[in-house]
Amino acid sequence: MSAQRRGRNVVWTRRAVQALALLLFLGLFLAAHQREGRPAGGLGLFFDLDPLVLLATWLSGHTLAGLSLLALLTVAVTLVLGRVFCGWICPFGTLQNMVASLRRRLRRVLPRTEAFSRWQRAKYFLLVALLVMALGGAHWIGVFDPQSLFYRSLATTVLPGTQAAIEKGADAVYQADPHLGRAHLTSASEPAYRFLRDRVFVAARQVFAGSGLLLLIFLAVLALNLYRPRFWCRYVCPLGALLGLLAKRSTLRLVGTDAECNDCGLCTIRCPAAAQPEKHGRWLPTECFGCWNCVAACQNGGLDFRFAWPWRRPQASTVDLKKRALLASAVGGLGGLFLLRITPEAQGRVYEPSLIRPPGARPEREFLQRCIQCGLCMKSCPTGVLQPAWYEAGLEGIWTPVFNARIGYCEYECNLCGQVCPTQAIVPLPLEQKKQVKVGLASIDTSRCLPYAYGRECIVCEEHCPIPTKAIYFVEAEVPLREGGTRVLKQPRVDPDLCTGCGICETRCPFHDRPAIRITSANESRHPDNQPILPGGSGLDSYGGGATG
Amino acid sequence: MRRTRRDFLRQAAALGGILALGPARVLGRGAGEGEAAAEPAAMAIARWDAAAVDPGLAEVARRLTVQALDAVGGLGRFVNRGDVVWIKPNLGWNRPPELAATTNPDVVATLVRLCLEAGAKRVRVGDYTCHDARQSYVTSGVAAAVQAAGGELVYLEERRFRDVELGGRRLKSWPVYPEILEADFLLNVPVVKHHSSSRVTACMKNYMGVVGGRRSAWHQDLPACLCDITAFLKPRLCVLDAVRILVAHGPTGGNPADVRELRTVAAGTDIVALDAFAAELLGQRPESLATARAGAEAGLGRLDYRQLALRELTVS
């Protein structure tokens, strides 16, 4: 078989593998929701396979405990085959391939020659800076890691948007009920809608704070493919950089001969990585995705991938990472670290009341050392209480999960966020243990609460409180009325020993603008310093004094 | 709600059908079954015989439901062939059936079966829940039981509620789920529970699960709001599940110590009477219950359920 024939076969095989990997990614993504009796394992497969997640989390958390070592498989494969993870597996890379091919079809012109650009070194400098930051405990790789970026974007923007469009469309048809005689459009649209709702989406539609900006970032990254194919992978991706460094001496190498080459340039036009396949002996294994496009493109069969012993020097070039630039990147990382750490919250002097973390979240410092902002917990959360942080956790904790109890609440019978977290930033607690965890404390705003402020009955917060013995109780109070006389009303109080801060009281409070009962991070189990209330009831029972009266 | 000519014709035809066939059905049934179905009771209370061999709670619930329904004339009295029935259990909370925060799944499934046997075309089961319905339907055991019995689970969608003229004293109009109103027969199946506002939650309170909107505001005047929705819905039959009841920390519960296994099912056409009976089960005097009292005053039923044509059964 000629090299070109073989190249074409491999390219088609690669496309099939890419499609399967993307479908697997999307399948696992859609499967991340609560369902009785189903284990949550495997949902974070692509994060487990990501060596950047493993390395950076190890550096920032100083431990491998709770981390999947599956990423070592990716490392091994990269050492043998090169950056094939980027070319064959990475779902975000595949999506970018698709956008880039759209560009070719739309423009209907010969694409430009993709020459190597010195800017491709940027990703290595970013990697160094991020790893230096990680070493200091600031885990910012999730902002740039392609698995995190893709998952987060799907979870917070693409899926909710798609779901909303389908729901609104089905509702419009349902309500207008267009029909021709006895043929109603709803008899087609309703089953289709129910199929999508019950079989595809399954989980209820969520809404996310600031999802517009996250969508813009996602679309911008995709749009850059119209400028250069796989722009992100070439110039920015720190995972690509890490794999590139590992691929420097990979055993599968591109081999070309000048004799067969007529300088037609087809190989370099088809190369999405600008890896210089046309310059024999100067091929860039650190850039190459191993996609085999060049082999398939060469009509003379002048290019081929061949195995070589790792100790043999490759007939290849390297990207010149200047020592000075690397040092500057490291200093930049330190500077970034410093920038993130000068806030009062990061200094541990104050506690942000709205910084309420999922149940099982480690103490804030440790949590930030592990959270990769992937959004898996947010996607899995049945009520949508978990939202991407914008300011609550400072810049360091951007897009990490925080509670917004006006949007949702922490379901008493659910511990899914801890089960799915790929880095155990949220510890996977058994359900009974999770029910004991306090994420915060409810407090009543007596200037709004109906029985306090407006002389009206209302028991909604108590009604919804899921604690078996109710963390909200009533004290009967005689309230004077405007028209004279009094009325006895049940006024709610919060028992700080029982309240876990789940927030359903805030979600269900009749006030939807600013609820009259709200949760803050006070009393959270993970921070003893943020627990203002001595546990064990209000009396002085231990010395026999007891509550008076 | 807009009503098309087609709807009107269909309903008129259905009404005509009921008028034409209804009495004949009842008569024919009475003659066919002899003396057992002499005069259907207005209310029936089926209690499990403590001395009987225990066949397991599921079977107990099944037999209680069948007997109670039989005593009020069977579902054939209420369901016509080809009807769409909506069964409204209380599935508000994500709690397993053992905690008695939701209607017993075997009671619901038995009713589904009885409705289908009575000729119903479709039996739909749904509640506008407080917790996520996708969880509470499953956790309550009702999802599996209903599907096994041939019923159809419906997940109510917030966006599909429509403002409906209730013409009530307190509520002029409120969002109600259209598909529930479109059903030919609405069967209300609450579980008896303690409740911090209404003290007892049973039949009338269960109607909160057919309305949407800012329904939590109803607690500011619960008796009046519940009377308004009850008067609007004109209940024809309610079934009270007291197989297990929740005696404290309702309506959510969560503590097995607050659950009592009463092994009782009641059915009846008088919603206030059933709520009065539910109050007694929780150790309350019916007159002390603001909602039931308001219901009686509004002419929705009577508190002294013993004055009705009452049949009390001991089931084994």
- Please report residues of B whose CB lies closer than 8 A to that of A412: 94, 254
CB-closest option in A463, A508, A510 to B196 = A463
Contact state of A463 with B251 under an 8 Å Cβ cutoff: yes
Asked if the Cβ–Cβ distance from A466 to B252 is below 8 Å, we say: yes
Strands (E), A276-434: 303-307, 386-388, 401-403
| Partner-chain residue, chosen from A382, A490, A508, that has the shortest CB–CB distance to B135 | A382
Distance CA A424, CA A65 (A): 9
Backbone angles phi, psi at B272, to 5 degrees: -70, -40
Does residue B212 share a domain with residue B103?
yes
Whether residue A97 contacts residue A230, with contact meaning beta carbons closer than 8 Å, is answered with: yes
Please tell me the distance from the alpha carbon of residue A139 to that of residue A427, in angstroms, as a whole number.
17
CA of B129: which chain A residue's CA is closest? A464
Residue B14 is predicted with a pLDDT of 60
For residue A320, what pLDDT is reported?
82
Task: Please choose, from the candidates A462, A464, A472, the residue with its C-alpha nearest in 3D space to the C-alpha of residue A441.
Answer: A472
A171, A457, A467 member nearest B220 (Cβ) = A457
User: What does residue B244 show for φ and ψ, rounded to 5 degrees?
Assistant: -125, 140
- Chain A residues 27-66 with CB within 8 Å of chain B: 34, 36
pLDDT of residue A244: 95
Digit-coded pLDDT (tens) for A30-63: 999 877 666 667 899 999 999 999 999 999 988 8
**Inter-chain contacts counted by CB atoms under 8 A, chains A and B:** 76
Chain B contacts of A508, Cβ < 8 Å?
Answer: 130, 216
Q: What is the ipTM of this complex?
A: 0.77
Beta-carbon-side half-sphere exposure of residue B302 (alpha carbons within 13 Å): 9
Residues B257 and B125 in one domain: yes
Identify whether residues B27 and B166 lie together within a single domain: no
Task: Please count the structural domains in chain B.
Answer: 2
Whether A463 sits inside 8 A of B195 (CB atoms) is yes
Residue B4: closest CA among chain A residues belongs to which residue?
A177
How much is the pLDDT for A110? 58
Beta strand B152-153 with B122-125 is parallel
Distance from CA of A460 to the nearest CA of B (A): 6
Residues of B within 8 A of A174 (CB-CB) are 160
- State both tokens at A65: 């405990």
CB of A203 within 8 Å of a chain B CB? The answer is yes
Q: Which of A187, A463, A505 to mutate to test the interface with B (most CBs of B within 10 A)?
A: A463
Task: Pick the residue of A34, A182, A459 with the most B CBs within 10 A to test the interface with B by mutation.
Answer: A459
Chain A's closest residue to B133, CA to CA, is A204
Cα–Cα dist A362/A121, whole Å:
36
Asked if B148 and B28 sit in the same domain, the reply is no
Which parts of chain B have pLDDT scores under 50?
A: 1, 22-37
Cα separation, B228 vs A218, whole angstroms: 50
The pLDDT of residue B274: 95
In the predicted structure, residue A545 carries a pLDDT above the cut 80: no
The string of pLDDT tens digits covering residues A434-448 is 999 999 999 999 999
Long-range contacts of B75-79 (CB under 8 A, 24+ apart): B75/B111, B75/B114, B75/B115, B75/B117, B75/B118, B76/B25, B76/B29, B76/B118, B76/B119, B77/B26, B77/B40, B78/B118, B78/B185, B78/B187, B78/B236, B78/B237, B79/B115, B79/B118, B79/B119, B79/B120, B79/B184, B79/B185
- The DSSP 8-state label assigned to residue A112 in this structure reads P
**CA-based nearest residue in chain B for residue A466:** B252
Evaluate whether A140 touches A336 at the Cβ level (below 8 Å).
yes
B249 to chain A: which residues are within 8 Å by CB? Answer: 468-470
The pLDDT, as a whole number, for residue A113 is: 66
Same domain (yes/no): B146, B110: yes
Question: Do the Cβ atoms of A412 and B222 come within 8 Å?
Answer: no
A-proximal residues of B, 258-297, CB under 8 Å = 258
Q: In terms of domains, do B8 and B28 share one?
A: yes
Chain B CB contacts of A507 under 8 Å are none
Q: Is there a contact between B249 and A411 if contact means CB atoms under 8 Å apart? A: no
Contact A36 B139 (CB under 8 A): yes
pTM (predicted TM-score): 0.86
| Beta bridge partners of residue B264, listed in sequence order | B47, B242
Q: Is B175 helix (H, G, I), strand (E, B) or coil?
A: strand
pLDDT tens digits, one per residue of A192-238:
998 998 889 988 899 998 999 999 999 999 999 988 889 999 999 99
- Whether A204 and B252 lie within 8 Å, measured CB to CB: no
Q: What is the CATH number of the domain that holds B245?
A: 3.40.50.11440
Nearest-Cα residue of chain A relative to residue B248:
A469
The radius of gyration of chain A from alpha carbons, rounded to an integer in Å, stands at: 28
User: Are residues B83 and B31 both part of a single domain?
Assistant: no
Q: Please indicate whether, in this complex, the C-beta atoms of B160 and A171 are within 8 angstroms of each other.
A: yes
d(Cα A193, Cα A190) in Å, to the nearest integer?
5
Q: Are residues B263 and B125 in the same domain?
A: yes
d(C-alpha A195, C-alpha B303), whole Å: 46
Instruction: Say which residues have a Cβ less than 8 Å from residue A13's Cβ, sequence separation at least 6.
Output: none
Integer Cα distance of B255 and B252 in angstroms:
9
Position A520 pLDDT exceeds 50: yes
The stretch A474-478 carries a mean pLDDT of 94
Residue A138 is which amino acid? A
Residue B78 phi, psi (nearest 5): -115, -25
Same-domain pairing of B141 and B283: yes
**Are A459 and B197 in contact (CB < 8 Å)?**
yes
CA atoms within 13 A on the CB side of B79: 27
Q: Are B278 and B203 in contact (CB under 8 A)?
A: yes
Residues B25 and B111 in one domain: no
Instruction: Report the gap between the CA of B92 and the closest CA in chain A (Å).
Output: 10
Measure the CA–CA gap between A20 and A10, rounded to whole angstroms: 15
Residue A481 confidence (pLDDT) above 60: yes
Residues in chain A within 8 Å Cβ distance of B155: 197
> How confident is the model at residue A11, as a pLDDT?
95
Which residues on adjacent β-strands are paired with residue A478? A488
pLDDT (tens digit, 9 = 90+) per residue, B154-173? 999 888 899 999 998 899 99
The C-alpha atoms of residue B197 and residue A456 are separated, in whole angstroms, by 12
The whole-number pLDDT of residue B24 equals 42
pLDDT at B34: 40
Whether residue B116 is found in the same domain as residue B17: no
In a mutagenesis test of the B interface, which of A166, A381, A413 is the best target, namely the one with the most B β-carbons within 10 Å?
Answer: A413
**In the block, which residue shows the tokens 């207008």?**
A176
Residue whose pair of structure tokens reads 């627990």 in the numeric block: A531
| Closest CB to A464 among B134, B252, B253 | B252
Tallying the residues shown for chain B, one arrives at 316
Residue B11: the pLDDT is: 65
Of residues A536 and B204, more confidently modeled: B204
**What is the maximum alpha-carbon separation in chain B?**
58
Query: What is the SS3 assignment for B311?
Result: strand
Length of chain A: 549
Q: Rounded CA gap, A288 and A82, in Å?
A: 8
The C-alpha atoms of residue B258 and residue B260 are separated, in whole angstroms, by 7
pLDDT band at A549 (very low <50, low <70, confident <90, very high): very low
* Chain segment B30-66, per-residue pLDDT in tens: 333 444 445 788 999 999 998 989 999 999 999 999 9
Domain residue limits at B281: 39-315
Closest CA to B298 of B204, B194, B207, B195: B204
Contact B275/B202 with Cβ under 8 angstroms?
Answer: yes
pLDDT tens, residue by residue, A116-125: 888 999 999 9
Q: Are strands B84-89 and B122-125 parallel, antiparallel or unpaired?
A: parallel
Return the pLDDT at A238: 97
The answer to whether B196 contacts A203, with C-beta atoms less than 8 Å apart, is no
The letter for the amino acid at A387 is: Q
Kindly report the CA angle at A20 between A15 and A25, in degrees rounded to 5? 125
User: pLDDT for A303-356, tens place per residue?
Assistant: 999 998 888 887 888 888 888 999 999 999 999 888 888 877 777 678 999 999
Taking only the tens place, the pLDDT of each residue in A67-97 is 889 999 999 999 999 999 999 999 999 999 9
User: Is any Cβ of chain A less than 8 angstroms from the Cβ of B216?
Assistant: yes
B160–chain A Cβ distance below 8 A for any pair: yes
**Beta carbons of B132 and A382 less than 8 Å apart:** yes
Report strand pairing: B238-246 vs B191-195.
parallel
Do B31 and B60 have their domain in common? no
The C-alpha atoms of residue A88 and residue A82 are separated, in whole angstroms, by 11
Written as one letter, the residue type at A84 is V
Rounded to the nearest 5 degrees, what angle is found at the Cα of A124, between the Cα atoms of A122 and A125?
65
d(CA A131, CA A333): 8
The crossing angle, in degrees rounded to 10, of helices B271-281 and B290-297 is 160
